[in-house]
Amino acid sequence: MTTTALDVRDVRARFSSLDDGWARFDGPGGTQVPDAVTDAIAAYLRESNANLGGPFEASVRSVALETDARLAAAAFLGCTADEVIFGANMTTLNFSLSRTVGRELHAGDEILVTRLDHDANVSPWLELAHDHDLVVRFVDISDDTTLDVADLEHQLNERTRVVAFPLASNAVGTLVDGRRVADLAHAAGALAWADAVHLAPHAPIDVAALDVDVLVCSPYKFFGPHLGLAYGRAELLERWRPYKVRPAPDDPRGHRFETGTPPLELFAGFVAAVDYVDDVGWASIQSHERELGERFLAGLPDRWTLHGLPTMDARVATFAITAADVEPDAAAERLAQQRIAVWSGNYYAVEVMKRLGLDDGAVRVGLLHYNSTDEVDRLLEALAGR
């Protein structure tokens, strides 16, 4: 594939929110949105704001928008529109869908999660286990923060029903070979349940190539509004009994697992976000982010320790760093005083931080395609200060 160089100035011109003088490395907690997303939301509320199912024009336009949102989601995930599920956010969707699959589980059944996961793909299973007398086991990670696949293979057995795992760590940036995990899960007769929240702004998703059964993500992590988005394999959605009100339609399949009136104005923003990513192009996004990541790694001052892979291979440009002479919270506050936005703490990646012995968490730096090399240099200079 030919990579077109990213014109960062052109990209940044599409984000009014980037004009405030801040260097925004807080994307892992939620990205900025291009103006097209804001405009689409506002336009819907001005011109088409109505519930679904009416014979009048605004409602008819709303129905068309819902269809467009499902088609956009299907294209983004590599599935059919029938397999798309929207929700309030990834966490809420994951609690709901895990509760749904729980109707098929029995006391003593086992679920595997990983120590690389965000807690939104751990706690739903712990709570389900609490209610149904299930067993949750943790797959370990290696010292370099890669998934310990040998440990996964060792823990899989005839009682395993679900293998829940991330495609990319929101804490340390490590990538997971999702297809390999899915193949191992299926060989044991288990479902492959992927968290793609942190992968979604950095790389394309193809659920068919991954061969996962369920995948969950959050559009507000990939330049869209606050929504949750999930894929469910068609035969599973057909078989599962959803939690829904009785008059709600059964088609499309994914809609059966959605509750209440959809946030249609956010659907408009979501469609605009997917259009934006398509317009910029994944090849350009990934090439630029790799360049930024390599620049950050090469220039990281010696006083800072990187927790995770030391190159841009097998990772995205999200970095967890600590320094012996400053606590993560204090470091983030000092950077904020210089109008540099980063996160500190554990970012809900409880098991990762515990495994790495980072009781106080770490400083998290998230680089995205709308960041510039000048901003990275500015951050490195600030990290070198005392």
Q: Where are the domains of the chain?
A: 8-25+281-384, 39-277
- Cα–Cα dist 380/51, whole Å: 49
HEC per residue, the chain: CCCCCCCHHHHHCCCHHHHCCCEECEHHHCCCCCHHHHHHHHHHHHHCCCCCCCCCHHHHHHHHHHHHHHHHHHHHHCCCHHHEEEECCHHHHHHHHHHHHHHHCCCCCEEEEECCCCHHHCHHHHHHHHHHCCEEEEECECCCCCECHHHHHHHCCCCEEEEEEECECCCCCEECCHHHHHHHHHHCCCEEEEECCCCCCCCCCCHHHHCCCEEEECHHHCCCCCCEEEEECHHHHHHCCCCCCCCCCCCCHHHHHCCCCCCHHHHHHHHHHHHHHHHHCHHHHHHHHHHHHHHHHHHCCCCEEEECCCCCCCECCEEEEEECCECHHHHHHHHHHCCEECEEECCCCHHHHHHHCCCCCEEEEECCCCCCHHHHHHHHHHHHCC
Residue with tokens 């950050």: 296
What are the CB-based long-range contacts (under 8 Å, 24+) for 59-66? Answer: 62/264, 65/264, 65/267, 65/268, 65/271, 66/262, 66/264, 66/267
- Cα–Cα dist 173/306, whole Å: 11
Torsion of CA 13, 16, 18, 21, to 10 degrees: 110
Sheet with 318-323, edge to edge strand ranges = 304-307, 318-323, 362-366, 343-345
Q: Give yes or no on whether 8-25+281-384 and 39-277 have one common fold.
A: no
- Cα–Cα dist 99/95, whole Å: 6
Residue with tokens 């925004």: 24
Cβ-count burial 52-91 (b if 16+ within 10 Å, e if not):
eeeeeeebebbbebbebbbebbbebbbbbbbbbbbbbbbb
Candidates 3.90.1150.10, 3.10.350.10, 3.10.300.10, 1.20.140.10; CATH matching 8-25+281-384: 3.90.1150.10
Statement: 39-277 belongs to CATH 3.40.640.10: yes
Instruction: Check the CA dihedral 206-148-135-355 and report its sign.
Output: negative
pLDDT at 248: 79
Q: Which of 285, 215, 315 is nearest to 1 (CA)?
A: 285
pLDDT at 1: 43
- Cα–Cα dist 60/264, whole Å: 12
pLDDT along the chain (386 residues), means of 10: 80 97 98 98 97 95 97 98 97 97 97 98 98 98 97 98 98 98 98 98 98 98 98 96 84 90 97 98 98 98 98 98 97 98 96 96 98 98 90
Residue 251 CB partners (closer than 8 Å, separation 6+): 82
Q: Is the peptide bond before 247 cis (omega within 30 degrees of 0)?
A: no
Terminal-residue alpha carbon distance, the chain: 44
Q: How many CB atoms lie within 10 A of CB 150?
A: 11
- Reported pTM: 0.97
The structure tokens listed for 204 are: 């394309």
